[in-house]
Chains A and B, each alone.
Chain A
Amino acid sequence: MKTAQNGYTSYLAAIGIVLFFLLGWEAAVWGFGLPPYLLPAPSRVLATLFTHSGVYLNAAFLTFGEAGAGLVIGVLAGMTLASLLVLRPGMEKGVMALAILVKSTPLVAVAPLLTIWLGFGILPKVVITALVTFFPVLVNALAGMQHPDPALLDLFAAWRADRRSTYLHLRLPASLPYLFAALKISAPLALVGAVVAEWTGAAGGLGRMMWLAYTNLNLPYLFAAIFVLAFAGMLVYSLLVVLERWIIFWNRSEDVI
């Protein structure tokens, strides 16, 4: 009960801090008389958002669809490659070198190229998103698969379990907590990937709207898109936390009988 109450109050505290920040922002804009093309007040941003809610909703659907598809592909690819490296050790160094190369190439450098090659449709966005989400998943899943509880590894070794059974019954489930740690990084990154890809040329989406608003110095429009993205990022993160508690039930220590 105590922990539940603490969780509740910490949520309230978080909401309070955000409200306080927004109110301070609002007061600053009115107090200093800042023009909306420099910094629009949150009330104005929200008004923009609600007047054009249909437009934002459509754009958000497109961007989140791209981000979601890219994330799914990135996660599947990361998990598959991590599994292969565990089942067929020996290629790890080479593959990881390649993965680090992909990871350290800046996203903004690749995005325009992919847009040139693949066009203004959703494909380059999905590819970019998959590329940025892939690496955290690969590294974390690999760490989880390579380092289960040593006592369990001993047990499987003493049983003479083969590589496949050890992977299936031990390494894979043991990597799930690591996978969630990766998802908490990758899911927000997926949104960044989709938006940045849209900046380099797109037919629609939140990134496209931001880019248009930016070139017109229409800051209320720009901020409305930022609000949607921030809210979506938070929502995805919270969903992941709930999902994690549900799937990795054995890591919870508070409900011991």
Chain B
Amino acid sequence: MHLQVEDLSHVYLGKMPRPALANLTFEVPAGQFVALVGPSGCGKSTLLRLAAGLLGVQSGSLLLDGLPPGQNGKWTAWMAQNPALLPWLTVEENLRLAGKLTGQGRKIPILSKVLREALQRVGLGDALKAYPHQLSGGMQQRAALARLLIHPAELWLMDEPFAALDELTRERLAEELLDLWQPQRPTVLWVTHNIREALLLADRILVLTPAPGEIAADIAVALPRPRQEDDPGFLYMVRQVRTCLEAGDGA
């Protein structure tokens, strides 16, 4: 899905209006994996929420394949730090419900085969009948990943989905996410504050300034996959992104 952002600003209204984004302009071609990096509160999540249609666009424009979010009839996959599984449903029921509600009015139930395949691809083949509270945090995020796979979405909006997990699980899930992403290549907007994670995953890194977020740097990551963290090219890019972040921070 092609994403086009033009002159996008956002202010959280209230007694003390808080500007979150200022005059953002960028474009993401279909199939690109973009990481949004920036200090806390710079509006990364706001941008994601605008793209998901969770917030209304106030000024400027944000278009998905030429149409505002929510009007193009396509479903965008949403995943955040909280795995957001319904606690009273089993993993299987969670996936079926997602299939039903994101099926755009198609009343066709999800095939058990599709469901099992999705769970197997994230390594949860045995957890069909488990309730979320019986799973570890990593397994819950795996179930949430499987939920993205039941209908092919053309845009994945991901707000630090693995931030709450321990480092090993986070690295393993990041690798698995790439494996899931590569066959269909949906467009991805990936919010993170972790430079290494951004460089391991993304084709391109957008560095935002502190709030109100503007684009401080637009960095293409030309490293071949799979990427190695101790590779000199990788280390060089880590420094490059860090420099951009620090420059934007005014430090």
List the interface of chain A (C-beta within 8 A of B).
149, 151-152, 154-161, 165, 169-170, 173, 248-253, 255-257
Q: Is the CB of A155 within 8 A of B78?
A: yes
Residue B149 at the chain A interface, CB threshold 8 Å: no
Q: How far is the CB of A257 from chain B (nearest CB, A)?
A: 5
Interface string of B75-99 (1 = CB under 8 A from A): 1111010101011100000000110
**At the interface, is chain A mostly helix, strand, loop or mixed?**
helix
Given contacts A152-B86, A154-B84, A155-B78, whether A161 and B101 have CB atoms under 8 Å apart is yes
In whole angstroms, how far apart are the Cα atoms of A152 and B140 in the complex? Answer: 14
Q: Is the CB of A152 within 8 A of B84?
A: yes
Q: Is the CB of A250 within 8 A of B131?
A: yes
Contacts of A170 in B (CB 8 A): 86
Contacts of A155 in B (CB 8 A): 78, 84
Contacts of B75 in A (CB 8 A): 159-160
Question: Which of B52, B77, B97, B132 is in CB contact (< 8 Å) with A169?
Answer: B97
Given contacts A160-B53, A169-B101, whether A154 and B133 have CB atoms under 8 Å apart is no
Question: Who on chain B is nearest to A248 by CB?
Answer: B88
Interface string of B130-154 (1 = CB under 8 A from A): 0111110000000000000000000
Q: Is the CB of B88 within 8 A of A173?
A: yes
Contacts of B77 in A (CB 8 A): 158
Question: Which of A149, A151, A157 is in CB contact (< 8 Å) with B53?
Answer: A157
Contacts of B102 in A (CB 8 A): 159
Contacts of A157 in B (CB 8 A): 52-54
In whole angstroms, how far apart are the Cα atoms of A251 and B88 in the complex? Answer: 9
Contacts of A256 in B (CB 8 A): 133-134
Q: Is the CB of B82 within 8 A of A151?
A: yes
List the interface of chain B (C-beta within 8 A of A).
49, 52-54, 70, 75-78, 80, 82, 84, 86-88, 97-98, 101-102, 131-135, 157
Q: Is the CB of A154 within 8 A of B101?
A: no
Question: Who on chain A is nearest to B49 by CB?
Answer: A154
In whole angstroms, how far apart are the Cα atoms of A112 and B45 in the complex? Answer: 59
Q: Is the CB of B86 within 8 A of A158?
A: no
A/B interface sample: 26 pairs, CB < 8 A: A149-B82, A149-B84, A151-B80, A151-B84, A154-B54, A154-B78, A155-B78, A155-B84, A156-B101, A157-B52, A158-B54, A158-B78, A159-B98, A159-B101, A160-B70, A161-B101, A169-B97, A169-B101, A173-B88, A249-B131, A250-B88, A252-B133, A255-B134, A256-B134, A257-B134, A257-B135
Question: Which of B53, B101, B132, B157 is in CB contact (< 8 Å) with A250?
Answer: B132
Question: Who on chain B is nearest to A155 by CB?
Answer: B84
Contacts of B134 in A (CB 8 A): 255-257
Q: Is the CB of A158 within 8 A of B52?
A: yes
In whole angstroms, how far apart are the Cα atoms of A17 and B78 in the complex? Answer: 54
Q: How far is the CB of B72 from chain A (nearest CB, A)?
A: 11
Contacts of A253 in B (CB 8 A): 133
Question: Who on chain B is nearest to A173 by CB?
Answer: B88
Q: Is the CB of B157 within 8 A of A158?
A: yes
Q: How far is the CB of A144 from chain B (nearest CB, A)?
A: 13
Contacts of A159 in B (CB 8 A): 75, 78, 98, 101-102
